[in-house]
Chains A and B, each alone.
Chain A
Amino acid sequence: MTELRYSLAREFARDPGPRYKKQGPNSGEAFRAVLRDLLGRGGIVRINLDGTSGIGSSFLDEAFGGLIFAEGMQASDVLARIKLESSDDETYILDIMESIEKAQKQKKY
């Protein structure tokens, strides 16, 4: 299976922004569109979260949780296809996992 590597800081923004595009630059919503495109190419997408100035939880929620609640994907597919790396701050990955789980739960009910 092919693997695409993507650096949030180098290829998207060193200063990730707010949740929505309408709120300001480098939003989680805009990053979700990037993720969608990357996933559309097939295979595994490995996202490196290091090197940013700091990532807000709303950004992560909208980008990763949004794949489920806004794009209609299944959490199991997202978890199977997206691999996360963060040596800067492990709580980013915990936040993302929590967002994905909660988005999936809300989708069920």
Chain B
Amino acid sequence: MVPERLCLRSNRDEVIQLISQIRDVVLKEKRRIYLYFDRLQYLEPAATIMLVAEIDRCRSVFPKNKFGTTIMGNYPEDNKVYAQLCEMGFYRLISVVADDRIPHGILPDNRPIFLSVKSMSRVEPHLAAHFVRLVMQGAFEMADSAQRKMVAALKEAMQNSNEHAYMHETEYPVVKRRWWIAGHLDPETREMMVLLFDQGIGIPRHLPVTTFDRIKGALAMSWTPTDGHMIAAATELFRSSTGSAGRGRGFRDMKRFVDACDDGELRVLSNRGAFTYTRDDTRIDDYGDSIGGTLIEWRVRHSSVAEIHGD
């Protein structure tokens, strides 16, 4: 049963439990699963992209067993939820024939524009540039230099989802190099949000341990860093000239937008950890269970022309 609130912020445990259950039933036990959407009342884009990704993976790895399609489900009773799933490209991505017509008046005219979930296996640089043009049209204006920074940050994030995520073997079978992107633009509040998700090994496992060990050694620290600490460190590090590790400067540029604009947040969840960055605060969290990959949620709101200066 899909929970009433598909939301990582307010209902993380149930969301992770649902996704783990899908994964275990289909990928480990090789059985079919039926998802009941009846109770679903609220959809958070971050949790939705994870659910879509899990269904997409399961249907790619084990599309059918001898009894038929491995993942099936019903439609939500709530029309707004159904409409939002349609707008996010949920049904299209998982190849379910749905009545895509959204009943008139169900959704407010000034609602955010969802950029439907895309499943990718390569880095398409024009996609980053296209997204930034959409931000300019649907959220806020940017100076030329800020546009280039945003494009570069998105390309780096795509690069990481595609490359580092799948450097080592993962616990569950994956579609190698597969990652997902989605977003929304809100002309009313002049806000943009982009989400990237991969089902790879997670930042804590591909961050060069030597880097953290050096910091620990210098500070005579004895404790082992948690996943949350490793993610926080990854957002500060740039490297690598060996080409084998490091996450580039994508996070740095994302943080600069958060700092320079009216409001914003960079939230990175990876394995059991989470790191949240706002202009006034940073927060590290650790949980008992893993999200099974890395999710980046980057949100920026700005009411005038965004400018990002210098380094």
Where the two chains meet, the residues of A that have a C-beta atom closer than 8 Å to any C-beta of B are: 13, 15-20, 23-26, 52-59, 61-62, 65-66, 68-70, 88-91, 94-95, 98-99, 102-103, 106
Contacts and interface: CB of A to CB of B under 8 A. Distances in A.
Contact of B163 (A18, A52, A65, A106): A18
B206 interface: no
A55 B249 CA distance: 11
B152 A55 contact: yes
Interface in B128-144: 128-129, 132, 144
Given A18-B162, A91-B311, A102-B241, A24 B148 contact: no
Contacts, number: 109
A38 B258 CA distance: 40
7 contacts: A13-B125, A15-B128, A53-B126, A54-B149, A56-B249, A57-B238, A70-B243
A54 B242 contact: no
Interface of B: 122-126, 128-129, 132, 144-145, 147-152, 155-156, 158-159, 162-163, 177, 238-243, 248-250, 310-311
Contact of B155 (A17, A88, A91): A17
A6 to B, nearest CB: 19
Contacts of B163: 18-20, 23
A9 to B, nearest CB: 11
A16 B125 contact: yes
Contact of A95 (B129, B151, B162, B249): B249
Contact of A90 (B177, B239, B311): B311
Nearest to A88: B148
Contacts of A54: 128-129, 132, 147-152, 155
